Amino acid sequence: MEMDIKGILEHLPHRYPMLLVDRVLECVPGESITAIKNVSFNEPFFTGHFPHHPVMPGVLILEAMAQAAAITSFTAAGKKPDEKTVYYFVGIDAARFKRPVVPGDQLRMELKVERVSRGIVKYKGKALVDGQVAAEAELMCTVRTIDS
């Protein structure tokens, strides 16, 4: 299934400036997702990272990948996030950064579900720019209900 920004906003609790997924090209709930982040010079982090040579922080590339993963988790569970739901990182393994991501790039995130155990989902994924791997990692995430 494909998803535009309206569908993404229904399936993620994140909002500007932390929403880092612009489009879903393909989502097989509970199995895999391919999503896009269009990297613009207007991103708030470029003001300080770095003014003379803007580079998307690696942690935000991993965050974008985790947000894409969250979409497949929520769709697999048949749920949509609400004010009592949070989506947490539980772990990041084997993270590697292969090339900088700069304004004007389109970050293509490809993630596959590796394992589901006790409410924790492990994904293996990569982020590409123009077919070149910019980052890769194994991400572990979970959905939790919070008490208000």
Q: What's the pTM? A: 0.95
Helix, strand or coil for residue 80? coil
Rounded distance between C-alpha atoms, residue 6 and residue 56, angstroms:
25
Q: What is the pLDDT of residues 78-126, one digit of tens each?
A: 888 888 888 899 999 999 999 999 999 999 999 999 999 998 999 999 9
Helix or strand holding residue 5 (H, E): helix 5-11
- Phi, then psi, of 52 in degrees rounded to 5: -90, -15
- Phi, then psi, of 12 in degrees rounded to 5: -130, 140
Apex 116 CA angle, 110 and 120, nearest 5: 90
Rounded distance between C-alpha atoms, residue 123 and residue 25, angstroms:
18
For residues 141 and 76, the answer to whether their CB atoms sit within 8 Å is no
Q: What is the pLDDT of residues 39-73, one digit of tens each?
A: 999 999 999 999 999 999 999 999 999 999 999 99
pLDDT confidence of residue 85: 85
Catalytic residue annotation: 49
pLDDT confidence of residue 69: 96
148 pLDDT more than 70: no
pLDDT confidence of residue 4: 97
- Size of the chain in residues: 148
pLDDT confidence of residue 107: 98
Residues near 94 by beta carbon (within 8 Å), at least 6 away in sequence = 136, 137, 138
Closest to 45 measured CA to CA, from 18, 67, 24: 18
